[in-house]
Structure 1
Amino acid sequence: MADKELLQYSGIGQRLDAYLAYEFPEYSREILKGIIKEGRVLVNGQAAKPSLLLEEGDKVEVSWAAHKKEASGLEKLVIFEDKSMLAINKPSGLLVHPLSPIWESNPRAVFEGENTLAAMILAARPETEKQRLPRLGIVHRLDRETSGVMLLAKTLKAQEELTRQFHDGEVSKTYVCIAVGEMKEEKGIIEVPIGRLSGDKKIKASPIGRISVTEYKVLKRLKGYTYVELYPKTGRTNQLRVHMSWLGYPVMGDTLYGAKQEARLMLHSRMAVFKHPITRRKMAMEAPLPPDFKAILQKLGKK
């Protein structure tokens, strides 16, 4: 998509925001309203309001965001990088990619709306778009609230190989979490199928769900909480959160699965072990605990 779109309206009395929603169905009405309010939509050379009624022959100019200030900062997240891939430490609260799938066919759409990791990648590594890398090189994801290691590809060959390793279960992942309650067992295996029932948006433990396996080991018992290491053997959406809740010890801060609201979800992807997509050398990428996670852990340890 070009940085600017020039349109000429033909019709009678249609609102500006409604017209743009028709012309650009890939964007939500709220995003388009935001673009208009930012003054990036001109009607006959003048800034306009979303409610402006267009008239026959009106010239509409839309300026798309070429970059977002908040999209900078990828370099601070990088743990490792070479010519074919990079690993980052994703902060809690950062969405991996826009919810609308249009960004996959129109990468520059990541600069509209909420900031995401995808926007940061495109801002810092514009070659990912030039190479037409699917999903800008993203090969897996973490929940918005989860922090930690993520692997990203910089070439199509690397992306295909990393994607295959995740699909075939060849990537060994280690997470840590603070669970609500003091767990009795030192370690164990949770083999509980999970899935989304028809008509229900929430993923739950269900006998008709997909096979899901998580191993766990207690690292430290705190007063009323447990610091736990988790090893997912399958890669289902929300698997660790669902399994911990099913076990009776939801992840601290996980309001979706039975815990109270906290400053953040206390779940962190600490390590990923895999084979380099090109050299095939075994690699282990580790993301240190972020300061907010560490502070809460230390506070609980003093109780």
Structure 2
Amino acid sequence: LTPENRDIPVDCIPSLPFLRLQDLQEGIVSGSRDSVFSVLLHNMAKVIPRAAAVLANTFESLEPFSLTDLRTKLNACLTIAPLFLLSPPPPPASSPAAGDHGCISFLDSHLPNSVVYLSFGSVADFRIPKHEIAALAEGLESSGAPFLWSLKPEKQADLPAGFVDRVKGRGLMVPWAPQLAVLRHASLAVFISHGGWNSILETIAGGVPLICRPVFGDHPINSRLVDISCWGVGVTVRDGTFTKESVEEAIRLVLREQVGKALREKASHHWKRLICEAVSADGSSTKNINALVEM
């Protein structure tokens, strides 16, 4: 992959015509065919068509063209997402803030659509370079927006000196956050994420726009799907990396400009409704779970 070819459209996946070479993990159309990812995909492609059914962690209205294409190659393809909405709710906590590191009370203290939430998952956290974590912190600080940042204690050492003290009261740093509850909170304005698939589904269910910084694997493709030009629920930081400027720019775009208002409308009124319909009593995911049980 080079600067000259990174924007070349990928035309070998008819159902995803908006993809570029840079959106694909190395080992798919570039790089070594002996890479772990390439070998994994090759082995999956040999086995999956023989399966009686393939369960897809998506819902019908989110990816209709991809699902139509897949169903020409598979015996059966059952969409079953989002499982976190199909599962019984967890038992109530002993107190509203039990184990949440003060996240909910922090969100309760802020106005609707005002707080930036940041989390990069258990693996991607450690794949983002130190200088980008520092740049992200600088961009957050200069943006003036209140924020909730779930960051492993080991990675908090990458923050600029004095950062936590300077943002005290406006920003809350925690080692873990109850993500589903955070994404459903009225004060949340945007989720800055690595673009992991489960996080995207949870964000759609919360009706919240995204700012993506893809890290590896399917993150670039997911971030491209989220984009204004596709699902219309988010943006990717400029050049796919955190700098002070790219963070400030993305936060300003989503929180203060007309584009951000459009993203929020699409997320909260369109996609949130469709994902809830998928898990309703007559929804596609509910029906597919029942069909799986009967197979």
Normalization by structure 1: what TM-score? 0.25
Bigger strand share: 1
Bigger helix share: 2
Normalization by structure 2: what TM-score? 0.25
Flag the structure with larger Rg. Answer: 1
